[in-house]
């Protein structure tokens, strides 16, 4: 049996979580998932400004902080902290923790190969809209293939203390130690599916240990000290989801089911570079306090394609807010919204979209929210987006004047003019998997 813990559900997750996983009990592998769909584009922009950047900068200091304990307790770390610059990330890790052996997985970054792919006839159509990628070619910032568990397992086979990848799938981070330790083969579909589903359960950190859980949320124990998840994996593909005993939170079939359903598509065909996993085959059993045993998982062959994660610039946006107080807070906020729109129209400014929400009334759920006849205050939030930066910027000047020249009772403008942000959008496409060859580089 091996114990695999996830200490980071995204870049920006709780800094203490990985440290507590190392300190509060026994684990063999610490995995850290830093990448969301848009994270790669942010990292690409950072790399353009400084070639030594482009990775998750939380990671090297964390490894520096933990280095002695990792060595002493023989804990291996697997992270997709490399972003668009895994080599620079590895250098930073070695600087922070000189005694460790670091392995870097290369081969996911295909940004420089895009035109070659197009010349070969791959259209790289968007998986949602079916548009060919030529429609956005000049706007592309980054392009990476999602890579699976086998390159990461190969890196672990090299004896590395820390494995750094770029755009590996979230689930591969958890599956890799199982492939490495149990010697699972590339066509052990049921086992690979089991490890993949284990990865899906823990990839969002505490979201399977009581975080964001609806069932008796008021009674989740000691949420301030919530424990991040641990998988106890067996060589036959069965596993138990748990947490350290001293940590807060809760692990039961409710918390695990919620996470199993999170960001799921077709449950019979959960596709990764490693396999196809069938979520309708999962058998859950509450097997003890804060323990859920998972068995019965079936899998199928991996797809012949790999998914590409591509980011591209798609115009500009800005969102601004004002607060209107009682009485008649909502009619005042609605009037202010009409005035802003009329003033923009008078200026001859046009946008791809103007979107208004009234916080405290209907922002989250539109018509589904129950009527709130006379709320004590309402926050007006207007957002615009368009292709021209100056047009979007001009909108940001139209909110604060309303405090003096619009309906009475406006406040909440202390943050000043809202910032204009470039929109970095996400494009996903499929590529034949033979195009991607990964390599492992060991540095110490």
Residues that bind other proteins (CB under 8 A): 37-38, 128, 212, 214-215, 254, 257-268, 279-284, 314, 317, 319, 353, 355, 357, 359, 363-370, 381, 383-385, 423-426, 428
What are 144's strand-pairing partners?
A: 109, 309
Sign of CA dihedral 101, 243, 235, 171: negative
Judged by beta carbon, residue 29 or residue 351, the one nearer other proteins is 351
Please give the Cα distance from 357 to 363 (Å, whole number). Answer: 5
Residue 283 structure tokens: 């058998």
Closest separation in Å from C-beta 259 to other proteins: 7
* CA–CA gap between residue 368 and residue 126 (Å, rounded): 32
Q: Which tokens go with 12?
A: 């920006």
Q: 147 and 436 in contact (C-beta within 8 Å)?
A: yes
Closest to other proteins by CB, 383 or 407: 383
- Residue 64 or 132 having the CB closest to other proteins: 132
Of 85 and 311, which CB lies nearer to other proteins in the complex structure? 311
What is the smallest separation between the CB atom of 118 and other proteins, expressed in angstroms? 23
Q: What sign has the CA pseudo-torsion 283, 303, 174, 38? A: negative
Nearer to other proteins, 162 or 292 (CB): 292
**CB of 128 vs other proteins, minimal distance in Å:** 5
Rank residues 185 and 283 by Cβ distance to other proteins and give the closer one.
283
Residue 99's alpha-carbon distances to 25, 65, 94, in angstroms, are 23, 13, 7
Shortest gap between Cβ of 67 and other proteins (angstroms)? 35
Whose CA is closest to 399, among 336, 312, 350? 336
Whose tokens are 């929109």? That residue is 423
330 close to 361: Cβ distance less than 8 angstroms? yes
Between 328 and 428, name the residue whose CB sits nearer to other proteins: 428
**Closest separation in Å from C-beta 268 to other proteins:** 8
In angstroms, what CA-CA distances link 415 with 177, 189, 321, 365, 401? 47, 53, 9, 26, 14
Find the shortest distance in angstroms from Cβ 428 to other proteins: 8
CA-based torsion, 393, 394, 395, 400: positive or negative: positive
In whole angstroms, how close is the CB of 197 to other proteins at the nearest point? 12
């Amino acid at each position: 049996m091996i114990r695999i813990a996830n200490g980071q559900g995204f870049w920006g997750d709780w800094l203490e979580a990985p440290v507590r996983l190392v300190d509060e009990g026994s684990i063999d592998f610490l995995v850290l998932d830093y990448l969301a769909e848009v994270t790669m584009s942010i990292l690409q922009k950072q790399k353009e400004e400084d070639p030594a950047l482009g990775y998750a900068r939380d990671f090297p200091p964390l490894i520096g902080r933990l280095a002695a304990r990792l060595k002493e307790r023989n804990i291996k770390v697997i992270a997709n902290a490399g972003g668009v610059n895994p080599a620079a990330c590895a250098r930073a890790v070695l600087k922070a923790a000189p005694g460790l052996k670091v392995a870097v997985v290369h081969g996911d970054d295909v940004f420089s190969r895009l035109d070659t792919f197009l010349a070969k006839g791959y259209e790289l159509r968007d998986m949602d809209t079916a548009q060919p990628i030529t429609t956005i070619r000049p706007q592309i910032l980054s392009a990476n293939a999602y890579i699976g568990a086998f390159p990461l397992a190969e890196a672990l086979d090299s004896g590395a203390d820390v494995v750094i990848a770029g755009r590996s799938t979230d689930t591969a981070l958890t599956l890799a130690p199982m492939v490495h330790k149990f010697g699972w083969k590339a066509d052990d579909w049921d086992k690979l599916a089991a490890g993949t589903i284990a990865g899906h359960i823990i990839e969002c950190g505490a979201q399977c240990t009581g975080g964001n859980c609806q069932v008796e949320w008021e009674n989740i124990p000691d949420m301030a000290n919530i424990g991040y998840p641990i998988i106890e994996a067996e060589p036959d593909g069965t596993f138990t989801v748990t947490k350290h005993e001293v940590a807060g939170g809760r692990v039961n079939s409710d918390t695990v089911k919620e996470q199993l359903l999170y960001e799921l598509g077709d449950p019979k065909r959960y596709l990764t570079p490693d396999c196809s996993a069938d979520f309708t085959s999962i058998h859950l059993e509450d097997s003890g306090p804060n323990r859920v045993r998972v068995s019965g998982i079936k899998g199928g062959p991996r797809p012949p394609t790999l998914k590409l994660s591509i980011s591209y610039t798609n115009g500009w946006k800005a969102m601004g807010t004002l607060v209107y107080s009682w009485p008649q807070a909502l009619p005042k906020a609605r009037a202010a919204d009409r005035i802003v729109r009329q003033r923009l129209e008078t200026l001859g400014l046009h946008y791809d979209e103007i979107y208004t929400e009234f916080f405290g009334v209907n922002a989250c759920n539109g018509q589904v929210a129950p009527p709130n006849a006379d709320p004590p205050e309402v926050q007006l939030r207007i957002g615009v987006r368009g292709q021209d930066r100056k047009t979007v910027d001009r909108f940001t000047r139209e909110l604060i004047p309303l405090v003096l020249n619009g309906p009475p009772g406006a406040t909440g403008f202390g943050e000043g003019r809202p910032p204009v942000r470039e929109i970095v959008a996400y494009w996903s496409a499929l590529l034949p998997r033979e195009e991607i060859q990964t390599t492992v580089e060991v540095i110490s």
